[in-house]
A and B are shown apart, each in its own frame.
Chain A
Amino acid sequence: MGTAMLRSLEALAEALPDGALVGVPADYSGVPMALTMALLRRRTRGLRLFCLPTGHLQVDVLIGAGAVAEVETSAVSLGEFGLAPCFSRACEHSEVVVRDSTCPAMHAQLTATERGVPFMPMRGLIGSDVLAHRPDWRVVDNPLSDGGDPLVLLPAIKLDVAVFHAPFADEEGNVWIGRRRELATLAHAAERSLVTVEAIRPGSIFEREGTAAGGLSALYVEAIAVAAKGAAPLGLGDVYGVDAAALGAYAKAARTREGFRQWLDARLAAVAA
């Protein structure tokens, strides 16, 4: 790889500035948990998170640690492990600004940026309180109809940074994301992408069609760090599964602020050791 692209995990965390608008993936897409802990070690603050399309452990931990000012999302939960405790608590105490959305709108606002157009139209939404609380969205009459066909326009959103974790990158900095194409959407819609991978493989993933189809070109990627088990305790495709015991323990601990703090301190200490 151009060694200019390969960084340490700590250097990758340093490259993400406080206050950035950060695109983060859903729990099934490759969540950069190792990078998230590195961000907390460097005491990142004021992040504005944009979830594609939902948030899970990463978002809950960042909110609980006080690193988040705003979150735009269609949902934040721990899935089978229940509510996201820190997210719910922060909402109930107005400690974070939440812009509630819906999954296809989260996709569409980045798709508009991918396509280089100022907005995307979307069906649905009309009559919902989701729309009622979004002054940045606009209802127009379909200009290609004869009238009486309202639909919603969603402005394009350009992310400052996209962060995600993938199974591997090649020596040229191309990242293999497999079928998790929403990671490509994140990267396309971001000024910069900071990526962690399980490993660097020799050669180029574009040499063979089998890996090329799941590839994301290095032209979208600013920097890469190697982080083995970098999504854990969340899973990563068919590389490793969810650590149910660890997620269950988190869900239980984070029910209280003190429990969360103890969980976080233990994690930060374990990584630092």
Chain B
Amino acid sequence: MARRTPGGGGGLNGIAPEEVLINLLAELIGPARHVAVGAASPIPAAAALLARERHGTRVTLLHSRRHNGFTDGSRELFDLAGQGRIDVFFLGGVQIDGRANVNLVGTGDYPRMERRFPGSFGSAYLYYVVPRVILFREEHSPRSLVERVAFVSAPGTSAAELYRPGGPSHLLTSLAAFGFDRQAGRFRLEAHAVGTSVPAIEAATGFVFDVAPDVAVFGTPSEATLATLRGPVAAALAESYPVFAARVFATMASAAASA
């Protein structure tokens, strides 16, 4: 992650935790040309829409009608990615391990798993071809961030000879932001949430990671960013995520207005 001075300050009063994460993800996106966001991802979708407001980034929300210009069916996403026309994509996972392997299939021994989750979706392709894949998982625990995933939906790294223009760039959780070094195949802690610490992050993480010399504290969104989030971003997001948009943005906006 590019080092940025934590902005705003003044703690989290009047700012939803989701707004902090959206702001952080938007910083990680930076001035990309085109960001695509998959299903059931309101926070990454809001971050992409915030990047659009800031940089004019093109945004494709797969489950939107209005914010989705694909006319060749859902395969167009993968065709675009293969052509190099998607700069940033987000992946989550039941488990993520220290080598950035992602597991979206389940826990226990495959195929009869202890707990079966939906499946790999497009990860086994997009992780290889999208230049910057940002891993996002709100839960930060030894259960979600493990030493070794039970099933590799998509590997974090590949042999140098393999055709692989894409891969993981960062991992953001509710507690921490890590950069990923593709050569070393290791995460590096770059920032953490207010009220936690490097030792606490180590205790909550199932894998070993490096620590940046100058670990930052999560920045809070500025007043201008909050106005953008609660205005045009909330309006655009409401088509695909009406419940989320109402819960997070409308609630925070009305609280701010009455304060």
Assembled-state Cα–Cα distance A183/B78 (Å): 17
Assembled-state Cα–Cα distance A54/B71 (Å): 18
Across-interface contacts of A104 in B (CB, < 8 A): 75, 78, 122, 125
User: Which residue of the partner chain, among A75, A83, A133, contacts B111 with CB atoms under 8 Å?
Assistant: A133
Assembled-state Cα–Cα distance A237/B64 (Å): 10
Across-interface contacts of B74 in A (CB, < 8 A): 26, 28-29, 52-53, 103, 107, 182
Across-interface contacts of B105 in A (CB, < 8 A): 100, 129
Across-interface contacts of A94 in B (CB, < 8 A): 111-112
Task: Decide: A130 and B124 in contact? CB cutoff 8 A.
Answer: yes
Across-interface contacts of B250 in A (CB, < 8 A): none
- B246 CB to nearest A CB, Å: 12
Task: Decide: B122 and A181 in contact? CB cutoff 8 A.
Answer: no
Task: Decide: A181 and B72 in contact? CB cutoff 8 A.
Answer: yes
Task: Decide: B125 and A92 in contact? CB cutoff 8 A.
Answer: no
Partner-binding segment picked from B157-165, B190-198, B206-214, B223-231: B157-165
- In B91-140, which residues have CB < 8 Å from any A CB? 104-106, 110-129
Q: Does A151 contact B (CB under 8 A)?
A: yes
User: Which residue of the partner chain, among A75, A92, A244, contacts B119 with CB atoms under 8 Å?
Assistant: A75
Task: Decide: B73 and A184 in contact? CB cutoff 8 A.
Answer: yes
Task: Decide: B120 and A100 in contact? CB cutoff 8 A.
Answer: yes
Q: Does B155 contact A (CB under 8 A)?
A: yes
Assembled-state Cα–Cα distance A150/B184 (Å): 23
Partner-binding segment picked from A120-128, A156-164, A258-266: A120-128
Task: Decide: A102 and B123 in contact? CB cutoff 8 A.
Answer: yes
What is the chain A residue whose CB lies nearest that of B128? A124
Q: Which 6 A-B pairs rank lowest in CB-CB distance, beginning with the nearest? A: A75-B119, A181-B73, A182-B73, A77-B118, A102-B124, A104-B78
Q: Does A217 contact B (CB under 8 A)?
A: no
Across-interface contacts of A133 in B (CB, < 8 A): 110-111
Across-interface contacts of A29 in B (CB, < 8 A): 74
Q: Does B151 contact A (CB under 8 A)?
A: yes
Task: Decide: B122 and A74 in contact? CB cutoff 8 A.
Answer: yes
Assembled-state Cα–Cα distance A108/B113 (Å): 27
Across-interface contacts of A77 in B (CB, < 8 A): 39-40, 118-119
- A65 CB to nearest B CB, Å: 18
Name B's interface SS.
loop
Q: Does A146 contact B (CB under 8 A)?
A: no
Task: Decide: B75 and A185 in contact? CB cutoff 8 A.
Answer: yes
Across-interface contacts of A7 in B (CB, < 8 A): none
Interface residues of A (CB under 8 A from B): 26, 28-29, 52-54, 73-77, 79-80, 83-84, 87-88, 91-94, 98, 100-105, 107, 111, 122-133, 148-151, 179-185, 237-238, 244
Q: Does B152 contact A (CB under 8 A)?
A: yes
Task: Decide: B118 and A92 in contact? CB cutoff 8 A.
Answer: no
Across-interface contacts of B70 in A (CB, < 8 A): 179
Assembled-state Cα–Cα distance A129/B94 (Å): 15
Q: Does B55 contact A (CB under 8 A)?
A: no
Encoded as 1 (CB less than 8 Å from any A CB) or 0, chain B from 38 to 78 comes to: 01100000000000000000000001010000111111011
Beyond A75-B121, A123-B129, A130-B124, is A185–B73 a contact (Cβ under 8 Å)? yes
Task: Decide: B152 and A75 in contact? CB cutoff 8 A.
Answer: no
Assembled-state Cα–Cα distance A102/B105 (Å): 11
Task: Decide: B63 and A28 in contact? CB cutoff 8 A.
Answer: yes
Across-interface contacts of A128 in B (CB, < 8 A): 120, 124, 152-155
Q: Does B30 contact A (CB under 8 A)?
A: no
Assembled-state Cα–Cα distance A122/B79 (Å): 11
Task: Decide: A103 and B122 in contact? CB cutoff 8 A.
Answer: yes
Q: Which residue, of B105, B113, B120, B154, has the highest number of chain A Cβ atoms within 10 A?
A: B120
Q: Does B82 contact A (CB under 8 A)?
A: yes
Q: Which residue, of B116, B118, B126, B154, has the highest number of chain A Cβ atoms within 10 A?
A: B118
What is the chain A residue whose CB lies nearest that of B165? A123
- B221 CB to nearest A CB, Å: 24
Task: Decide: B78 and A129 in contact? CB cutoff 8 A.
Answer: no
User: Which residue of the partner chain, among B82, B115, B125, contacts A103 with CB atoms under 8 Å?
Assistant: B125
Across-interface contacts of A105 in B (CB, < 8 A): 124-125
Task: Decide: A100 and B119 in contact? CB cutoff 8 A.
Answer: yes
Task: Decide: B73 and A92 in contact? CB cutoff 8 A.
Answer: no
